[in-house]
Amino acid sequence: MRTRAVVRQAVADDAEAVAAVRRVVAPYKAMSPAAVRHMLTVQSPGERFLPLVAERDGEIVAWASAGLNVWTSEPGQSELAIYVHPEHRKQGIGSELAGRLHQHLTEVGAVRVRSFVQPEGLEFARNLGYDGTRQMHYAGLELTGLPEQPPTPDGIELVSLDAVDPRAVYEADTIASLDEPSDSPLDAVEYDRWVEEIWDSPSLDRSLSVAAMAGDEVAAFTVVETAVDRMWSGMTGTVPAYRGKGLAKLVKSVALRKAAAAGITSAYTSNDDSNAPMLAVNNWLGYHRVQTELGLLRSLAS
Ligand SMILES: CC(C)(COP(=O)(O)OP(=O)(O)OC[C@H]1O[C@@H](n2cnc3c(N)ncnc32)[C@H](O)[C@@H]1OP(=O)(O)O)[C@@H](O)C(=O)NCCC(=O)NCCS
């Protein structure tokens, strides 16, 4: 009989093992050990982030985390994620992790929790009081046979993000993010936090990320994160005045080509089911759906 898994707080040196569990459970999320280490070490204090692992016989078999969403003006919004290695399921590990995290979130003042689950996790989540609200589609693309790169419109210059003032990228990101479908508006993103968590993230490859500049203004941009042979599109955004001109298609086309030239073989991304323009862009690029996760919400009793 196997020994019981022990739940403990995750530390930075768990990054490699946590990334491995994440890769088995959700290979389409393409998160490197360096990015996990960054997640474990860099947080806003207001987030009250609690990372947990379950360990059995010295092996990490599950990862879970929860914290307050500090990027929205709505108080008490929080997020929770649980990844149990498929060989260690149905043994109470997920329930123990959920219990610890719900207790933590209640203690730090959360009133509502959002979580995304794979279809096989739906019953588990429903039993914990979660209810469905939205669908998130994950899609992948092999970086061969990309469609022809569209022409660059007059007045637009394409540059890689390492040549752009981070403040200009922040402006475009925060403006565009307001229109990304979500349950809580992303309307309270502080510049310093953004620099720490996004701009300085070790997974962000600024040389592969692309901006379409209109003078000094970022009209559109796409952010590339890398994990060995895979890339993840962290965010693509076009500021409202420049939408519908093909700029999202253009910046992603260029970024995917750069990634292919740098030896990346596949690309992944996620889109809310209701984000018709972004789905149109990704379908045009040739992405195919690899997974749908269900976005669920649960109230925490006050
Ligand atoms: C999604 C977004 C980046 C698109 O930027 P854009 O520069 O306007 O995109 P493009 O002009 O390159 O292409 C838009 C495509 O969406 C299509 N489209 C626009 N509105 C649409 C709608 N309501 N339904 C279906 N398709 C739509 C356009 O027709 C076009 O496709 P087509 O060229 O095949 O006709 C932009 O709307 C945005 O910043 N949204 C908010 C941030 C966001 O959600 N980012 C994605 C996070 S995953």
* 61-114 per-position pLDDT tens digit: 999 999 999 999 999 999 999 999 999 999 999 999 999 999 999 999 999 999
Pocket test for ligand 1, best of 175, 210, 243 (most atoms within 8 A of CB): 243
Quick one: which of 136, 124, 48 has its CA closest to 83? Answer: 124
Confidence of residue 228 (pLDDT cuts 50, 70, 90): confident
Write the residue with the smallest CA distance to atom 15 of ligand 1: 277
| CATH T-level assignment (fold) for domain 6-137+294-299 | Aminopeptidase (3.40.630)
Is the Cβ atom of 278 under 6 angstroms away from ligand 1?
yes
Q: What is the DSSP letter of 204?
A: B
Is residue 194 within 8 Å of 203, Cβ to Cβ?
no
Section 264-281 average pLDDT: 96
CA of 230 to the centre of ligand 1 (A): 24
Is the Cβ atom of 239 under 6 angstroms away from ligand 1?
no
Report whether pLDDT(302) > 60: no
Is the Cβ atom of 285 under 6 angstroms away from ligand 1?
no
Atom of ligand 1 nearest to the CA of 181: 44
Percent of the chain at pLDDT exceeding 70:
99
Is the Cβ atom of 77 under 6 angstroms away from ligand 1?
no
What secondary structure does DSSP assign to 247-262, as a single string? Answer: HHHHHHHHHHHHHHHT
CATH 3.40.630.30 for domain 140-291, yes or no, is yes
Q: What is the DSSP letter of 199?
A: I
Is the Cβ atom of 220 under 6 angstroms away from ligand 1?
yes
Write the residue with the smallest CA distance to atom 32 of ligand 1: 280
Give 272's strand partners: 136
Report whether pLDDT(51) > 60: yes
Is the Cβ atom of 275 under 6 angstroms away from ligand 1?
yes
Pocket test for ligand 1, best of 238, 256, 287 (most atoms within 8 A of CB): 238
* Cβ-Cβ contacts under 8 Å for 28 (sequence gap 6 or more): 138, 140, 268, 290, 291
Residue located via tokens 């890769």: 23
CA of 246 to the centre of ligand 1 (A): 8
Is residue 52 within 8 Å of 84, Cβ to Cβ?
no
Report whether pLDDT(153) > 60: yes
Is the Cβ atom of 124 under 6 angstroms away from ligand 1?
no
Give 295's strand partners: 116, 134
Residue pLDDT, tens place only, 10-20: 999 999 999 99
CA of 275 to the centre of ligand 1 (A): 8
Give 43's strand partners: none
Is residue 238 within 8 Å of 220, Cβ to Cβ?
yes
Q: What is the DSSP letter of 195?
A: I
Q: Where are the domains of the chain?
A: 6-137+294-299, 140-291
Tell me which long-range contacts 222-225 makes (C-beta under 8 A, separation of at least 24). Answer: 222/248, 222/251, 222/252, 222/255, 223/161, 223/198, 224/255, 224/258, 224/259, 225/30, 225/31, 225/32, 225/35, 225/201
Report whether pLDDT(301) > 80: no
Is the Cβ atom of 237 under 6 angstroms away from ligand 1?
yes
Residue pLDDT, tens place only, 132-146: 889 999 999 999 989
Task: Render the burial of 156-183: b for 16+ CB within 10 Å, e for the rest.
Answer: bebebbeebebebbbebbbebbebeebe
